[in-house]
Amino acid sequence: MRPISTRARALTAAAAVSVVAGAGAVAMSTEASAAAGCRVDYSVNQWSTGFTGNVTVTNLGEAISGGWNLTWAWSGNQTITQGWSATITQSGANVTAANPSWAASLGTGATANFGFNANYSGTNTAPATFKLNGTACTGTVPSGSASPSASVSTSPSTSVSPSVSPSTSTNPGVKVDNPYAGAKGYVNPEWKAKADAEPGGSRISSNPTAVWLDRIAAIEGTDSSSSNGSMGVRDHLDAALAQGAGYIQFVIYNLPGRDCAALASNGELGPNDLPRYKSEYIDPIAAIEADAKYKNLRIINIVEIDSLPNLVTNTSGQAGGTAMCDTMKANGGYVQGIGYALNKLGALSNSYNYVDAAHHGWIGWDSNFGPTADIMLEAAKASGSVNNVTGFITNTANYSALREPYIQPSVTVGGQSIRQSKWIDWNQYSDELTFAQAFRTKLVSIGFNNNIGMLIDTSRNGWGGSARPTAASTSTNVDTYVNESRIDRRIHAGNWCNQSGAGIGERPKAAPEAGIDAYVWVKPPGESDGSSTLIPNDEGKGFDRMCDPTYTGNARNGNSMSGALPNAPISGAWFSAQFQQLMTNAYPAL
């Protein structure tokens, strides 16, 4: 664990309780299939005046095909304020949660999960009874009740597990401070197969990498029997269980008007498609992740790369600002979309959200640093609570060096600060580790929990090989000193696409430094950032000149050459030449 507060985060400030509820005689509903038996797992994460509830219902009887609803009554003054993955209504103490439109069926043995936020005062006692389509959920199938049209009578019985102190609980439903600590990471078999097919690829192919969900079709996956087939979310989760993995990483990446400043990573949803983002993308992902079979697996969600910082740095009035970024700032699509994702995914007892926070070469200046932190807080508040945020990630799919031992901004050369060099350009930071630690401090100071942790993507920031400096320059010219001393060998710190000379960085590792939850490989080595030329595709991915090695740059990169590798495919596609370069220039060396 990092040497900061190890208290349970506020989201789990109350004990998690599992409930198996029983009830007296009830009559079956005749409007939809009734359940001959069911089980309900109910848990809460509460604070002084509110709580998040997570409900998983398992159908133990015959398949339900005409829609389902789960009902219960509060014994206190609980009032639901927001729900997800079900249509939830409340009348007095009575609550009804009806199936979402995309999940009307519930097969035998199948589960459905939904959640809600609620207010309360005094005590927050769990419901004593749950009923699925009118049938009491006792955790068993009552004898003689196989027919869905029969009435069922059970003796009243309620079994509630004892409360457990969150500071000592080993219950898998209680969130841990650092989900990477003490856990084996999931190795994506699709990425591993591609890496193993490369000469020397087996040296790194057993490292855990993230699974990118960059379009709606990625949720279910495609025909695995075809050459272009791919695994879906459930396939990956099942594979993680089979591997005995302790955690799995997904990149949640499909906002409306996605990446408003980089055409290579544009997405399928238009700027006004927030309703589709919620109902067709986030809701189905949350429903799958909530399946009780995955309750012992820590599911880590990396939330929406490059989105919120764009609203600070790439709108009107900024160098290289775009009309699309103006639109997304004005319509609130990014803030509300991320807020919704954090709410839905943060409610799950085994899910951990890390929000993307760009990198030091993007928001390391004072003019960007504070405003970016502020908009992160705005999105967290849109989710209902900062407790939905486990932490933040920097350098996702980027190349900023983890450490710059020779060009820290405090260095002076010939009596001059090296911050005035063209490379550093008055930035307050020159590497990702010092930036990530400082940004974490800033985030805590404005209202985030003091035990949030940072992730740093080290999949492509090693910069090893013969070009790596081994000592500081002896030059007394600040530009020459910095250029001869820096680990990051890019032409400009703003260059981001398939960078020539890059290498694999630190291997995935939990709790490597103070305030850092893990070094991670979120961008799988070998997956392209974007195509070198226009390549038509059905994934909504455009052509960005920053991926063209002949491009002479723009205002955002100081009108420098792009530094991109040639002959690259569209973003996310396998790029063998890049993979080989990354291994050659790995640091630490392979």
Out of 41, 306, 457, 548, the active site residue is 306
- For residue 152, give the DSSP letter: B
Q: Angle CA(64)–CA(70)–CA(73) in degrees, nearest 5?
A: 160
| Rounded Cα distance, 471 and 485, in Å | 7
And the tokens for 349?
Answer: 């007892």
Give this prediction's pTM.
Answer: 0.72
Question: Beta strands of 351-463 (E only): which ranges?
Answer: 351-356, 391-394, 412-413, 416-417, 453-457
Q: Which residues contact 195 (CB under 8 A, 6 or more apart)?
A: 201, 202, 204, 205, 525, 526, 579
Closest to 210 measured CA to CA, from 238, 229, 191 = 191
Per-residue confidence (pLDDT) for residue 574, from 0 to 100: 96
- Sequence spans of domains, the chain: 17-160, 189-584
Per-residue pLDDT of the chain (590 residues; tens, 9 = 90+): 333 222 222 223 333 333 333 332 222 233 345 556 899 989 887 777 888 888 888 888 888 888 999 999 999 999 998 887 789 999 999 999 998 876 788 888 887 878 888 999 988 999 999 999 999 998 877 654 443 332 222 222 223 222 222 222 334 457 899 999 999 999 999 999 999 999 999 999 999 999 999 999 999 998 654 456 689 999 999 999 999 999 999 999 999 999 888 776 678 999 999 999 999 999 999 999 999 999 999 999 999 999 999 999 988 877 768 899 999 999 999 999 999 999 999 999 999 999 999 999 999 999 999 999 999 999 999 999 999 999 999 999 999 999 999 999 999 999 999 999 999 999 999 999 999 999 999 999 999 999 999 999 999 999 999 999 999 999 999 999 999 999 999 999 999 999 999 999 999 999 999 999 999 999 999 999 999 999 998 887 888 899 999 999 888 788 899 999 999 999 889 999 999 999 999 999 99
| Three-state SS at 111 | strand
Question: 529 catalytic, yes or no?
Answer: yes
| Three-state SS at 546 | helix
Per-residue confidence (pLDDT) for residue 163, from 0 to 100: 27
Q: Which residues of 554-589 are buried (b: 16+ CB within 10 A; e: fewer)?
A: eebbbebbbbbbeebbbbbbbbeebbebbbbbbbee
Measured from the Cβ of residue 288, the count of other Cβ atoms closer than 10 Å reads: 18
Per-residue confidence (pLDDT) for residue 444, from 0 to 100: 96
Q: What superfamily would CATH give domain 189-584?
A: 1, 4-beta cellobiohydrolase (3.20.20.40)
- Helical (H) or strand (E) element with 484: helix 478-485
Per-residue confidence (pLDDT) for residue 173, from 0 to 100: 54
Do 112 and 121 touch, CB atoms closer than 8 A?
no
Question: Beta strands of 487-550 (E only): which ranges?
Answer: 509-513, 516-520
| Rounded Cα distance, 338 and 322, in Å | 21
Q: Work out whether strand 130-132 and strand 69-73 pair parallel, antiparallel, or are unpaired.
A: antiparallel
Angstrom distances, CA of residue 202 to CA of 163, 191, 207, 211, 583: 47, 11, 10, 19, 11
What kind of architecture, by CATH, is found in domain 17-160? Answer: Sandwich (2.60)
| Rounded Cα distance, 51 and 28, in Å | 31
Question: 259 catalytic, yes or no?
Answer: yes
Do 562 and 492 touch, CB atoms closer than 8 A?
no
Do 570 and 536 touch, CB atoms closer than 8 A?
no
Question: 544 catalytic, yes or no?
Answer: no
Angstrom distances, CA of residue 134 to CA of 60, 130, 145, 197, 297: 14, 9, 13, 55, 32
Do 179 and 298 touch, CB atoms closer than 8 A?
yes
- Which amino acid is it at 352? Y
| Three-state SS at 232 | coil
Residues in binding site: 212, 214, 359, 362, 398, 496, 523, 527
Do 265 and 530 touch, CB atoms closer than 8 A?
yes
- Indicate if the alpha-carbon torsion angle 113, 119, 122, 127 is positive or negative: negative
Do 267 and 258 touch, CB atoms closer than 8 A?
yes
Residue with tokens 């696409």: 497
Measured from the Cβ of residue 164, the count of other Cβ atoms closer than 10 Å reads: 15
Per-residue confidence (pLDDT) for residue 224, from 0 to 100: 52
- For residue 497, give the DSSP letter: S
Per-residue confidence (pLDDT) for residue 145, from 0 to 100: 43
Residues in binding site for substrate: 212, 214, 359, 362, 398, 496, 523, 527
Phi, psi of 478, deg, nearest 5:
-60, -40
Measured from the Cβ of residue 224, the count of other Cβ atoms closer than 10 Å reads: 12
Per-residue confidence (pLDDT) for residue 169, from 0 to 100: 31
Out of 177, 356, 517, 529, the active site residue is 529
Question: Beta strands of 67-156 (E only): which ranges?
Answer: 69-73, 79-84, 87-91, 94-98, 111-119, 130-132, 135-136
